[in-house]
Structure formats: structure tokens, C-alpha cells
């Protein structure tokens, strides 16, 4: 089966590789030519343009940094809308706003192009081992068609409902992740300042009510001061802005999320956009005048 894949970043490249390993004929495109070359050496067919992909594939996955780029790939001259045909299925696995997802789907439907929003959660480690969570929005028949692909890339997939519900679920997920990252940083700097070994803290409370996947994934990174991005600060901040826009559209106050958004904004302003999102810790270290490794 021929599948198109556009967007070979940290997550997309790994997701595409899992599809290749599963035996799909993958046609790939990205502005990063090194990523395209890497995938071609694994068996993918490199495509110079979106038009090239549409000439071979009726199902196309996009995994892109934000909604503006998704919009460009969809609707620019010789983009997916221009070059796609009636019945083509676009599965957008980027993290965008539900407002954007619904608008893109409505526009695509004018040409008979089917569109799903299916953002993911889990970061690079879970993309590598194929255990990501996927939240899909779209028609039931489109979901059934896409399900074998989802099973290869993650397996943990839920059909949330109509287009837009996948993106809304991802934003709810990002509320929790972002607040957990801030809470973990706050607890970590408190514990460190109190002279507690963070590994022992993790051991003591990591199976109780305070336990979380965020703690399990990020405490080892904090202890090692390893902030190579699995999920970038800039990506998390983009999600927080999408959350704020969606909430504003519903007239819904989100006071804690708004506070955490400002923490991320501060870190972006200080040039930390390409560090792992656990580097929100730096906000606490700067304000508390305490570096965690100083007493460990």
C-alpha cells in the first residue's frame, strides 16, 4: 500500500520509519533533505514536491510543526488541495488548534478530499517503540481506513468523534502535561533546596498519588541535566497558545494554564525554545537562585 508522509521532524521521522518497517511503500517529503535521505536509505521513496506524492498516494500523513505550515502544505499552489483528487484521505497528525482542523476539513471537503485530525502524545521515546497515544477526529469510515496505520505507529488510538475532537483532546492532554512539568519543577527545586536527592524523591513518591508519566520520564533528565529535546519548549508553548485561543473562543477561563503559559513565554524569551520542555525547570532555578545539581 502506498502512503505519503510529509514532515520528518523528531516525531515524524520515527513514525515514518515504523511504517516502512511494517512493509508500507512510503513516499516522503520534507524541507530537511538530510531527513529525506535518511528515510530513503531505509526504503522510502523521496519526493521533490507535494505533487509527486499525490501522483502515487491516495492516503497522505502530515506531521508538521504548527497550523500555519499545515495550511501552507494543504492550500499553497500545487499543495495537497490543488494536486489531490476526489476521495484522497489526509491524516494530519500535527498538533494544531481544533479551529484550524475544522476549517481545513471544510475546505478540503469542497473538493471531495477527506481530512482527519489525529495528533499524538508520548514524545520521541514512545514514537520509537510504537507506543504513542493517538487521538483521532473524523468520519467513522475514514478512521477505519486509517486504523492499520495508527496501529503501526502507536497502537493506542481512540476515535474521539468528528474532525476537531482529536485536536481538542490533544490540547486537554497538553494542559495536563504542561502543568505537570511546572509542578514537577516546583517540587524538584523545593526538594533540592531541602537537601533531598531527587532520585530518592522519585523512589519515595513515584508510586503514590503524585506519580505520573511526566515524573518518570523527566526526573532522570533533570538529574543528568540532559535537556536534549524529546519535546521542544517551542512546541509546548505553541500548544499552550492554541489552548488559550480555543478557551477564549469558548469564554472559558484557564487560570493555571495561563500562568504556566507565561512561564514558557519567559523561557522562550530567554532563548531556550529548542531545549526539552522539561527545561521549564530553568524558570524556577532563575527565580529561586538555585541550580539543582549544586547540592547533589
Query: For residue 292, which of 230, 224, 232 has the smallest C-alpha distance?
Result: 224
Instruction: Please name every residue paired with 90 in a beta bridge, in sequence order, or none if there are none.
Output: 60, 115
Please answer whether residues 169 and 135 qualify as being in contact, where contact means their C-beta atoms are separated by less than 8 angstroms. yes
CA dist., res. 220 & res. 198, Å (int) = 9
What is the number of other CB atoms lying within 10 angstroms of the CB of residue 3?
24
CA distance 137 to 124: 22
206 by DSSP, 3-state: which? coil
What's the CA gap between 179 and 30, in Å, rounded? Answer: 32
Closest CA to 3 of 89, 131, 130: 89
Q: Which three cell numbers stand for residue 281?
A: 525547570
Pairing of strands 89-92, 156-161: unpaired
Q: In Å, how far are 2, 122, 132, 153, 240 from 129, measured between CA atoms?
A: 23, 10, 8, 9, 27
DSSP 292: G
- Verify whether residue 170 is a known catalytic residue: yes
Which of 102, 126, 170, 232 is labelled catalytic? 170
Among all chains, which residue has been given the C-alpha cell 507565561?
262
Active-site residues: which are they? 170
Amino acid at each position: 500500500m502506498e502512503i505519503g508522509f510529509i514532515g520528518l521532524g523528531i516525531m515524524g521521522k520515527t513514525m515514518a520509519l515504523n511504517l516502512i518497517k511494517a512493509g508500507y511503500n512510503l513516499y516522503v517529503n520534507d524541507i530537511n533533505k538530510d531527513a529525506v535521505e535518511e528515510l530513503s536509505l531505509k526504503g522510502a521513496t523521496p519526493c521533490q514536491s507535494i505533487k509527486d506524492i499525490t501522483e502515487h498516494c491516495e492516503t497522505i500523513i502530515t506531521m508538521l510543526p504548527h497550523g500555519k505550515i499545515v495550511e501552507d502544505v494543504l492550500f499553497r499552489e500545487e499543495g495537497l488541495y490543488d494536486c489531490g483528487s476526489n476521495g484522497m484521505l489526509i491524516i494530519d497528525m500535527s498538533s494544531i488548534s481544533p479551529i484550524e482542523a475544522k476549517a481545513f476539513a471544510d475546505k478540503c471537503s469542497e473538493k471531495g478530499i477527506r481530512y482527519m485530525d489525529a495528533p499524538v502524545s508520548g514524545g520521541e521515546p514512545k514514537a520509537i517503540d510504537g507506543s504513542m497515544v493517538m487521538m483521532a477526529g473524523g468520519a467513522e469510515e475514514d478512521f477505519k481506513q486509517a486504523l492499520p496505520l495508527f496501529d503501526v505507529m502507536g497502537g493506542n488510538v481512540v476515535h474521539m468523534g468528528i474532525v476537531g475532537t482529536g485536536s481538542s483532546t490533544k490540547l486537554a492532554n497538553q494542559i495536563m502535561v504542561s502543568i505537570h512539568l511546572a509542578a514537577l519543577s516546583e517540587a524538584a527545586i523545593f526538594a533540592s533546596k531541602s537537601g533531598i536527592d531527587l532520585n530518592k524523591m522519585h523512589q519515595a513518591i513515584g508510586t503514590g498519588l503524585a506519580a505520573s508519566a511526566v515524573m518518570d520520564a523527566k526526573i532522570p533528565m533533570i538529574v543528568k541535566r540532559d535537556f536534549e529535546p524529546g519535546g521542544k519548549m517551542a512546541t509546548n508553548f505553541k500548544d499552550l497558545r492554541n489552548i488559550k485561543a480555543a478557551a477564549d473562543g469558548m469564554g472559558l477561563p484557564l487560570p493555571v494554564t495561563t500562568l504556566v503559559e507565561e512561564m514558557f513565554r519567559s523561557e522562550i524569551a530567554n532563548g531556550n525554545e529548542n531545549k526539552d520542555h522539561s527545561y521549564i525547570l530553568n524558570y524556577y532555578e532563575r527565580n529561586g537562585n538555585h541550580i539543582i545539581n549544586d547540592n547533589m
